[in-house]
Structures are given as C-alpha cells and as structure tokens.
Amino acid sequence: MPAVVPGLVHLLNDRVDLLRGKRVGLICNASTITPGFDHAADLFAEHGEFELVRLFGPEHGLRGDAQDMISVDGDTRDSRTGLPVWSLYGRDEASLWPPASKLVDLDVLVFDIQDIGARYYTYVYTMAHAMEVAGEVGLPVIVCDRPNPIGGVEVEGNIVQDGFRSFVGRFPLPNRHGMTAGELANFFVAECDIACDVTVLRADGWERDMPFSSTGLPWVQPSPNMPTVDVALVYPGMCFFEGTLLSEGRGQTRPFEVVGAPYVDGHAWAVETTRELTAAGYEGFALRPLVFQPTFHKHAGLACGGIQLHITDAMAIRPVMIATALMKTCWRLWPDAAKWRTERYEFVEKPIAIDLLGGSESLRHEVEADVPLRQIQERWDDESAGFREARERYLLY
C-alpha cells in the first residue's frame, strides 16, 4: 500500500455509496489511475453498482495524446470502453465549458486528474467550468483529490489581474499556488462565486512538504510535455517562455527544463543569470549551457543555444524568479533578437501570451526595463498577500 491513498481509491472502496445506483459522468485523462495502474474509466465502466454514462476529456484529450493547444473533436467514442467522450478543449473558447445538455441526464459528475500546482495548468479550470455548469443544472460534483506534486508549502508569484483572465489564469491565483485540486475546488466555490454542490475526497497520507517520490504513487505524465516531477517543479516559472519566441524545449526530451534559441550563447546566458540570481540570494538551482535541436514546435530542426535548469535543492528552488531572471538577462544580452510571442494564445488574441501568463503587463515591462529581481519579488508579495491569507481557509492537509 502506498504512503498516500488518492481520492479515487476511497471513492471506489469506501465511498461507492456516493455513486451507487446513479448515472455517472467522469472527467479524466491518462493520469486518472489507481496506485495499481488501473484507469478510472475502465474501473467505472466495469463496476456493477452504478452506470458510467459519459466521459469528458480535458486539454490534450482523454488519453493524453494531443499536443498543446491542439483542439480535440467534440463528440467521439473511447476506443477502450466504447463510451461517448465529450471534449472540453475544442476549437473555440465556448468548448471549455460542458454543454448543459451533456450533464442533465447524469446524477453525479466525478473529476479526477493530476494537477501540478501551477496556475497556467488548465485542468483545474476545466474542473471549475464543469462545476459552474453542474451548479446551474443541479448536478453534484465529486473531486477525487491527489497530491500537489511540487509541494503544498511554497507560494510564488503575483495574482492575475482583471483584464488578463484566460484559460491559463481564469481565477486570482499566483503562478505557484501550493494547493491541491480538491482544495482549489473549495476555494473556487467560496472565493470565486461558483455555486455548486462539491464533495472532495482527500488523498489520505499526503503532507504538504512531502516529495512526490515519498507518496508511493506512480507518476503518469498528465500532459505530453510533463514527463517528470522535476519538469513539474520548474514549470511554474519556465512556462513564461511560452510567451516568447524562444523554444521552451518542446520537441525534445526535457521540455521546460531546457530553453533557448538559435541566437543564444548558452554559456554567456548561464553565467550572467547565475550571477544575478546568486547576488539576489536565490539558490537551489544550476544552469548548464547546452545546444539542443527541437524536432517540432519553435525552431524545429535548428540548433539552439540555451540552458538546462537543474534542481539542486527542491525545497529551496524558486522557479518563477529563476525564469524571470532568465528572461531579463536574455533581453539584456540580445536586445535585438529576443521577442515576445504575439499570435493567438489559448483562444485569446489580446493581451499577448506573456501578459496572460504574467497576469498583467507588469512582468513584460519589468523584463524590458531590467528591473532588479528583489523589486519584482516585492511586487509579487504585495499582490499575493490576500491570496495567501484566504488560502489558509481551504487547506485540507
């Protein structure tokens, strides 16, 4: 038995009364497994005490095969169970909410997907959108909780400001929020005016400072570019590079740990950034120069100079500030070559991607103006103070 028992196991073993005799919908993806690697869709479909009626797939699809920002067909069949699948990531923003018609014939809706603790990771907004519509039609929601794989202690970054809300920042969360999906479900109901009957089934045995390796749970990548827990830990900062024209490492084996572009001298970048971060008191990391060649996505087929972000102390590392420092020094070293991404991003034309990811225009301006790191940190701390206080009311562990 693993040290941590996820909510899915409790639902099937101890709380099947919540499903007994009911018509059930399930929001899931490849990460929705038991510690024994059994997928919830298969277990639900074979269960004799309730009827699994419909599956719902988030971004990247039900079985996790679609790349980022690739729309998934709306109404299909799951090849394994034969059940209908409704996509919650289609061709327009409206597809991010389930139609009421897909919920009214259900008695209960279950959500179980591994989140990674960063505000840009879209699955918790898929959960929230489903809760909104479920509340409107009077459908109860069960959230099967799982550990936050990057820990539940540290909070990093600013708060998304009005005018910059999107599918990578729908609600006022910091870049690294330090909460589980179940805790966020309760937060969304109480703090974000989502009227829904929600039951959260805890991940028993999890502690907020517990490394994922100590949970005893298998890591199944919840999206195609989230292969390891180390990648998850750096993602709250390194995802900023989606808002630039630098490669964030998609198309090679260590996405988000690796970043660069054809014009970058990785050694100069690593030295300059390490010097600035160390002077400001940040630690727990090493920046290793490298050259990589993405097989797809930005700069596909081109040799990119860059760095790999290595974690030397998982408790001390502050990935949001490290990524900010990397952007600052990149714009400092190559001011004519460094560019922001300006095309449509997560269904939004404007604001541009970096402003959606940064939660406002402030980060972009601070990078361009080379504002000192500690000054940026102070802004973040001021903006997130209210969240930090409110967050305490919803912590389950």
Q: For the chain, what are the domain ranges?
A: 7-224, 229-385
Considering the segment(s) 7-224 as one domain, its CATH architecture is 3-Layer(aba) Sandwich (3.40)
Would you state the pLDDT for residue 61? 84
Is the bond leading into 84 cis (omega within 30 degrees of zero)? no
Please indicate whether the domains covering 7-224 and 229-385 agree at the CATH topology level: no
Number of other residues whose CB lies within 10 A of the CB of residue 322: 22
Strands 198-201 and 141-144: parallel
pLDDT tens track for 133-157:
999 999 999 999 999 999 999 999 9
Structure confidence by residue, pLDDT tens digits, 189-228: 999 999 999 999 999 999 999 999 999 999 999 999 999 9
Could you tell me the strand order of the sheet in which 285-292 lies?
A: 258-261, 304-311, 285-292
Residue 73 pLDDT class (50, 70, 90 cuts): low
User: pTM of this prediction?
Assistant: 0.95
Residue 164 is encoded by which pair of tokens? 């910059």
Q: Rounded mean pLDDT of 15-31?
A: 98
pLDDT value for 176: 98
Position 65 scores a pLDDT of: 62
For the stretch 320-375, pLDDT in tens is: 999 999 999 999 999 999 999 999 999 999 999 999 999 999 999 999 999 999 99
Q: How confident is the model at residue 71 (pLDDT cuts 50, 70, 90)?
A: low
Facing residues of 143 across strands?
Answer: 111, 200
Kindly report, residue by residue over 291-312, the tens digit of the pLDDT: 999 999 999 999 999 999 999 9
**Mean model confidence pLDDT for the chain:** 95
Residue range 66-76: average pLDDT? Answer: 64
CATH topology of domain 229-385: Aspartate Aminotransferase, domain 1 (3.90.1150)
Closest CA to 169 of 128, 119, 132: 119
